Each structure stands twice: as structure tokens, then as C-alpha cells.
Structure 1
């Protein structure tokens, strides 16, 4: 029995050695068999976990700590065409994110959020468009969304160039991010045209400006 067992071990080792790589270190038949198994296991490809469905949400691959790459505001021409052909509410639903994707878009989203987060989407779009109009005014206002937002005396929620903390997991912030991306990409037109000023309906500042439209809770002027 002992001799038969030894022959079986030797046969198994020789069989494993026939498929092991050429770099197997020399040794006993048993050691060669163990090395062959280890080599075959090392050659198998690494299986990773799928990336999270939300491209901007933190995601990890099995065995690593690397986060999934952030998505750009509009990923392809096909997506842009699809969004342009959709209603404003459908576009917002497609573009909701916790992360705006850039500092500039975060500033634009903050303006939309703090000035109009409780308004209908059309009202939020109009507020975002005013910020964009100012940034594109060629000298009348700062040329960036962040510059427009932090300009002294323009937005009451900004103090010392900063604004209050935001719950970025909330639906209102995600909507504001979507509106910011829509405004930045000119994916939906707003009916306020080139308006650069607005005030809440509840006040009457007596501005000597041309009234353009009333949307949501705000009145818009140019």
C-alpha cells in the first residue's frame, strides 16, 4: 500500500509538471506539483466588481481603493441630442448628480440652489441663465460663474466669498447641478433672454430697468 501511494503521488506530480510553466523551480515531485498549481492560479485574470451605476458617485474596484472617474457634463453628441429633444423635467432627471464636475459648475449650481431651490424647474433655469448672462457680458460683470457669484453685494447668501454648507445628497442640490449643466451647455432655452437682474416678487425695488419676464417667484430685468 505504501509503495502504491508513493507511485500515485509521483504520477500526479509528473502530470501537473507537464502543464506547469518552464520556470518551475526544481525539487521533489510533490514540490513541483504544488508549484504548478500556484503558477496556474497566478495566471488567471483578476475579476473586478462592476463600476457603480452613477458615474460621479464614489466607486471602488475589488481589491483597490481607486475611485471611478467622474463623468463630464455631456458625455457624447448623442446624449446632447437626446437631452435637447427632451422636456426640461426629463433633462433634469437625466443630469442629476451630487458632484457638479467642476468648480465653475459648482458655483453656478450654488447660485441656482440658494436663490431658487424651492421654485419650479423653469424658475431655477431662469436664475441660472442670469448668472450665465452676466459671465458672458464681456466686461460688465466677472467672466466666470464663480466670479459672478462672489462679486461683492450681488447675492445675499454669499458672505466673504463663501456660502453656507449644502446637503449634496438632497434632491434639491441634485436638481441644481442638473440645471447648471443644462445652462452651461445651452441645452434648453429660457424665456428671460439676456436678463441680468432679478428680484423676488414680494419686493418692489423700483429699478429703472426693462422688465423682461416673470418666472416662478422672481421678476427678471435687463
Structure 2
């Protein structure tokens, strides 16, 4: 009898253990462990990962067989007049070239080509000197430097005139330095009929202007 009671107690213990292992909805502890594992993976997926390093290889492109390097345009002129005639006709100018050509036009359009180039080279020289504004427009519009500038503006230009077209050509030559002027290095000039008594080195008189450095 005692043996039967022990056996019944053993069976009851087993049933209790099974009850703990399986809930009322039939899910097992192994299923709950699996859910916990999946939740852990989900949390890990939101954690920052180490940055991915991309290694790029150098890309080279073969030069086509028919490729020819573009060369700067070279002018073969026996005189300044020839060089002026060879300049491309520009219908549109940058603001800087507009300022340079405008100064040549207003200061020296009645002068010879050499005289106009001399004025242009002064403006180019000032812009490069470090002593004046470093742009053509800055040089031209600097206060009390050029008398044709009134109220910070240039007068009207006759764009269709021969004088303007010639000033544009001279501006290109002065800017590119394709023709040597006898006053290269000059930073100042004045009309020959005035005497400002500057303590400067006189370089030359070209037409109606005297140039100094």
C-alpha cells in the first residue's frame, strides 16, 4: 500500500512538472525561449555597426588616338596695326574687359594705336602691381583716378563705332601682352599739356600722354 502511494506521488509530481512546462495555450518553454532569442536579435539589429570601408580603384581613361592638344593662338604680325586687324571680333565682353576697353576708349580713342596700347598697359600694370585694386574695373573706378568716370559710371559708349572696335582689340592685346609697349611698367600718365610735378621716373611720351613708373 505504501508502495502504491509513493507511485501515485511520483505521477502527481510528473503531472505538475508538465503543467509548468506547458501553459493553457499549449505553448512550451522552448517556444518562449525562441521568442526571447528573436527579441534579442531585434535589439542587436538597432545597435550601430562598424562603418563599412569602400576601397576605390584608380580609374584611367585612354586618350583617343586622334586627340590633339589645343594650342594658344599665335599671331604673326609685322606691326601693331596688323595685330589689331587679327584680333577676333568680340560681340560680348566680360565686365573686366569692358572696363579695360572703356578706359582705352575714353582716355585715348583719338591717339595712335601705340598711344592707346600705352594707356591699356598702365591699367593692366596697376591691376598686377599690388599697389592698386587687383582688377581692371577696380583700377578704372578707383576714386579720383580717371576723369571720364562720373558718379562711379562711364559715359555712354558708341558700340557700333570703329573707335570702340579698335579699343576692344587694343584691350585684348594689352591684356594678353602680345605686343611690347615702350611704356611697359608704367603706372601713371597725364596729358602733356599739364605739369603735375610728380616725383616719379619718366618713361616716355606717346602722343599726347606722358608716362611714368
Which TM-score tier does this pair reach, normalised by the shorter chain?
A: 0.5 to 0.7
- Evaluate the alpha carbon distance shift between residue 182 and residue 94 of structure 1 in structure 2; reply closer, same or farther with a 3 A threshold: same
Shift of 1:77: 3.7
Task: Specify the structure having the higher radius of gyration (Cα).
Answer: 2
- Of 208, 212, 217, the residue aligned with 2:208 is 217
Flag structure 2 segments of 5+ consecutive residues without an equivalent: 1-69
Indicate if the aligned counterparts of 1:123 and 1:215 stay in contact, CA closer than 8 A: yes
Mapped partners of 2:193, 2:166: distance in 1: 24
Mapped partners of 2:79, 2:135: distance in 1: 28
Q: Hey, what does 1:155 align to over in structure 2?
A: 146
Q: Deviations over 1:64-121 (max 9, x none)?
A: xxxxxxxxxxxx746x3225x4421011112263635211111000010000001000
Indicate if the aligned counterparts of 2:75 and 2:86 stay in contact, CA closer than 8 A: no
- Of 75, 79, 82, the residue aligned with 1:82 is 75
- Evaluate the alpha carbon distance shift between residue 98 and residue 202 of structure 1 in structure 2; reply closer, same or farther with a 3 A threshold: farther
Mapped partners of 2:121, 2:71: distance in 1: 22
Aligned length: 144
Indicate if the aligned counterparts of 1:201 and 1:218 stay in contact, CA closer than 8 A: yes
List aligned pairs for 1:131-142, cutoff 5 A.
131-138=123-130, 140-142=131-133
Flag structure 1 segments of 5+ consecutive residues without an equivalent: 1-75
| 1:175 corresponds to 2:166 | yes
TM-score (structure 1 length as normaliser): 0.62
Q: Hey, what does 1:110 align to over in structure 2?
A: 102
Mapped partners of 2:75, 2:187: distance in 1: 29
Indicate if the aligned counterparts of 2:118 and 2:184 stay in contact, CA closer than 8 A: no
Mapped partners of 2:180, 2:209: distance in 1: 17
Shift of 1:186: 0.9
TM-score (structure 2 length as normaliser): 0.64
- Of 88, 97, 102, the residue aligned with 2:89 is 97
Q: Hey, what does 2:193 align to over in structure 1?
A: 202
| 1:165 corresponds to 2:159 | no
Structure 1 stretches of 4+ moved >4 Å: none
- Evaluate the alpha carbon distance shift between residue 98 and residue 81 of structure 1 in structure 2; reply closer, same or farther with a 3 A threshold: closer
